[in-house]
Structure 1
Amino acid sequence: MFNLILFGPPGSGKGTQSERLISRYGLKHLSTGDILRSEIANQTKLGMEAKTLMDRGELVPDEVVIGMIRSALDNNPEAKGFLFDGFPRTKAQSVALDTLLSEKGEGINVVLALEVTEEELIKRLLNRGLTSGRTDDVNESVIRARIAEYHKKTSSVADHYREFDKVVGVKGEGTVDEIFDALCEEIEKRKVA
């Protein structure tokens, strides 16, 4: 099984590259946002607990999110591996994910961090905002705040996985194919046949 975390600030191309990596390697995409929506739609116990909190404007606690991740892992025993997207977001979540995977005799193989200059991110997001309909993609100051928040939140996750020499920076500028090839090269270095 091959498990990877794909990191990157807003506008770095995570969505585009995730789709391609999932297709190439047969990985199961675990997006916490998607899982949350699915659990709520299916009215699972965890989903209803999360919905109650969200309806009150509260954050979903780590133990609920971890429970959903556990459920997704358990429900996909045939998976060749997982691509984690939007999770973990804190050191505590990183440790919990490591513990959960360890219980299954697995771990995170690599954390791929897409590196894109702030000016390029702003250009991409403003361009995306022209057609996406996303209000957070049309205001440069909002975009800068999102990028700063990303760096503030994810630095502890990257630091955690650096302790285990699992973080690899990948240049996130160039053509979609060039970036994809660079990501695949890093995966191939670590992939067990």
Structure 2
Amino acid sequence: MGAWRGGGTRLVLLGAPGVGKGTQAAEITKRVGLAHISTGDLLRAAIRDGSPLGRRVAAIVERGELVPDDLVGEVMAGRLSRPDAAGGFLLDGFPRTVAQADLLDRILAERGQALDRVIGIEVPEPEIFDRLTGRRSCARCGAVYHVRYGRPRVEGVCDRCGG
């Protein structure tokens, strides 16, 4: 991974929910020095910000619908334009569909960029089931824990926000 350090490396992690994309993304970005960009985190931040875009996303999420590709793309394009992403990034949770992959290609092409690597993670279904059914998250900040593999330091208290 040393060859990837710096230089604007652009990576995508693909895999089903529960395969460990977020866990692996956090480790890779820490070791290699890339911006970790999670679609879920971006959408939650947009909602918290209360911007016009965030209010549109919030209304869709409140109805229990998936956020349309054009809105996800708008949020992603904004995030990819931030200075830290110029030094390289790892996308976690985007793209999820062929349409989103095409959208990402267009966003990057507008910047004269392309992806360097797409990394697929595969885990047997029984393990995914175990990971997902044991997953817990903080209601206040969204930090994710697992009942067996990643408990908070103090039971019932979020390590990140104390919630």
Give the superposed CA RMSD.
Answer: 1.9
Q: Residue deviations 1:150-182, cap 9 Å, x none?
A: xxxxxxxxxxxxxxxxxxxxxxxxxxxxxxxxx
Match for residue 100 of structure 1 among 95, 98, 107: 107
Q: CA deviation at 1:57?
A: 2.9
Q: Counterpart in 2 of 1:17?
A: 24
5+ residue gaps, structure 1: 135-193
- Which range moved further: 3-12 or 67-76? 3-12
- Is 1:118 aligned with 2:118? no
Would you tell me which structure has more helix in proportion to its own residues? Answer: 1
Please give the alpha-carbon distance, in whole angstroms, between the structure 1 residues aligned to 2:132 and 2:59: 32
Q: In structure 2, what residue type is equivalent to 1:45? A: P
- Is 1:8 aligned with 2:15? yes
Please give the alpha-carbon distance, in whole angstroms, between the structure 2 residues aligned to 1:78 and 1:118: 33
Per the normalisation by structure 2, the TM-score is: 0.71
Please give the alpha-carbon distance, in whole angstroms, between the structure 2 residues aligned to 1:125 and 1:49: 28
Q: Counterpart in 1 of 2:78?
A: 71
Maintained 8 Å contact 2:14/2:121: yes
Q: In structure 2, what residue type is equivalent to 1:94? A: A
Q: Counterpart in 2 of 1:55?
A: 62
Query: Alpha carbons of 1:93 and 1:78: their partners in 2 closer, same or farther (altered >3 Å)?
Result: closer
Matches within 5 A, 1:31-180: 31-76=38-83, 79-125=86-132, 129=134, 132-133=135-136
Maintained 8 Å contact 1:22/1:83: yes
The size of the alignment, in residue pairs, is 130
Q: Residue deviations 1:28-75, cap 9 Å, x none?
A: 111111001111111122111111222233322111110000110112
List structure 1 segments (4+ residues) > 4 angstroms apart after TM superposition.
Answer: 123-126
Maintained 8 Å contact 2:36/2:89: yes
Query: Alpha carbons of 1:68 and 1:78: their partners in 2 closer, same or farther (altered >3 Å)?
Result: closer
Q: Counterpart in 1 of 2:5?
A: none
Please give the alpha-carbon distance, in whole angstroms, between the structure 2 residues aligned to 1:113 and 1:97: 17
Please give the alpha-carbon distance, in whole angstroms, between the structure 1 residues aligned to 2:130 and 2:79: 35
Maintained 8 Å contact 1:27/1:79: no
Please give the alpha-carbon distance, in whole angstroms, between the structure 2 residues aligned to 1:78 and 1:84: 10
Please give the alpha-carbon distance, in whole angstroms, between the structure 1 residues aligned to 2:71 and 2:99: 13
Q: CA deviation at 1:106?
A: 0.9
Please give the alpha-carbon distance, in whole angstroms, between the structure 1 residues aligned to 2:95 and 2:79: 15
Please give the alpha-carbon distance, in whole angstroms, between the structure 2 residues aligned to 1:26 and 1:66: 24
Q: CA deviation at 1:82?
A: 1.3
